[in-house]
């Protein structure tokens, strides 16, 4: 997932290609590490929180098994409705025999949005007064907030100044990407590995938008930068956040 930049992977039978009723997402990894319900796998099964042994468990231990699926011939408006209704970032595409044919994601839908001349502005669809964390929040604390609130990203703010944004993918890359997690490890416990501040996950590239930008332009900008959300800034203050899901909702009203 880190190597390919994928936030979700369908889980299939290796021999038949049949979808095995599972989807593993960056959110599942954050749940495992951040103190959600799947954290019990670490806390209970692995000696009170030994993260190294936990991350070597098979994906069936954390994958989401309650899935909504679509079929290759489903109409796009119906698929968009399903994504909005289920608040799911991606839906597996299966044929009549249950064979996985592909996956359609919010980002795929945004590709369609860029061809529309939308009448909506960012301020019409953004989430206002978003929940934020401070730069001193721990990675585990951020993961816990994401899991509890069903968020995939959190703006990082201190003294009314936007420092950056931390995403589920950032946490997943820290856990399974470039080996950074092993540099921080002394005891191997979750608190040891994820007890450092979110400052370590933020880079210098802070991409933002403003309330009066057309949602089609916002969608094109997000796609060009490969990001799933943009903090919305007005008069140097954070006033909202616009996500791929928000833009898909905007598209739903135009199809």
Let me know: does 188 contact 52? Beta carbons within 8 Å.
yes
Least confident of 29-38, 87-96, 219-228, 245-254: 29-38
CA–CA distance, 49 with 30 (Å, rounded to integer): 14
pLDDT at 122: 95
In a domain, 112, yes or no: no
Dump pLDDT digits (tens) for 178-200. Answer: 555 656 555 556 666 778 899 98
Is 65 in the same domain as 163? no
pLDDT at 58: 84
Last residue of a domain, one of 77, 106, 135: 106
Dump pLDDT digits (tens) for 134-148. Answer: 999 999 899 999 989
Q: Could you list the residue range(s) of the whole structural domain that residue 29 is in?
A: 8-106
Is 29 in the same domain as 93? yes
In a domain, 3, yes or no: no
Is 84 in the same domain as 170? no
Is 164 in the same domain as 244? yes
Number of helical H runs and strand E runs in the chain: 12, 9
Length of the chain measured in residues: 255
* Positions of E strands within 66-141: 90-94, 100-105, 127-128
Is 75 in the same domain as 156? no
pLDDT at 119: 84
pLDDT at 112: 78
What would the two tokens of residue 1 be?
């997932």
Is 239 in the same domain as 139? yes
In a domain, 210, yes or no: yes
Is 126 in the same domain as 102? no
Closest CA to 34 of 154, 158, 124: 154
Checking if the pLDDT of 25 tops 70, the result is yes
In a domain, 89, yes or no: yes
Last residue of a domain, one of 59, 82, 106: 106
CATH classification of the domain holding 232: 3.10.580.10
User: 103-107: which pairs have CB atoms within 8 A and are 24 or more residues apart?
Assistant: 103/8, 103/10, 104/70, 104/79, 105/7, 105/8, 106/228, 106/244, 106/245, 106/247, 106/248, 107/223, 107/228, 107/244
CA–CA distance, 125 with 69 (Å, rounded to integer): 26
Last residue of a domain, one of 106, 138, 168: 106
Is 158 in the same domain as 221? yes
Checking if the pLDDT of 255 tops 90, the result is no
Checking if the pLDDT of 53 tops 60, the result is yes
């Amino acid at each position: 997932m880190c190597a390919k930049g994928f936030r979700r992977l369908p889980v299939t039978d290796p021999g038949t290609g049949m979808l095995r009723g599972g989807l593993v997402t960056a959110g599942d990894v954050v749940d495992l590490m951040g103190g959600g319900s799947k954290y019990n796998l670490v806390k209970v099964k692995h000696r009170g929180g030994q993260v190294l042994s936990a991350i070597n468990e098979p994906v069936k231990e954390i994958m989401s098994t309650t899935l909504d699926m679509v079929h290759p011939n489903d109409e796009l408006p119906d698929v968009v409705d399903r994504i909005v209704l289920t608040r799911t970032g991606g839906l597996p595409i299966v044929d009549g025999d249950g064979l996985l044919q592909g996956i359609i994601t919010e980002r795929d839908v945004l590709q369609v949005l860029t061809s529309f001349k939308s009448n909506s502005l960012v301020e019409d669809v953004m989430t206002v007064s978003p929940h934020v964390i401070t730069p001193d929040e721990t990675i585990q604390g951020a993961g816990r907030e994401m899991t509890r609130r069903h968020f995939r990203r959190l703006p990082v703010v201190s003294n009314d100044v936007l420092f950056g944004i931390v995403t589920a993918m950032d946490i997943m890359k820290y856990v399974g990407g470039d080996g950074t997690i092993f540099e921080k490890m002394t005891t191997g416990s979750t608190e040891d590995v994820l007890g450092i501040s979110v400052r370590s996950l933020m880079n210098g590239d802070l991409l933002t938008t403003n309330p009066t930008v057309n949602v089609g332009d916002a969608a094109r900008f997000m796609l060009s930068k490969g990001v799933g959300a943009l903090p919305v800034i007005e008069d140097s203050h954070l006033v909202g956040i616009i996500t791929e899901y928000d833009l898909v909702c905007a598209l739903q009203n135009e199809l």
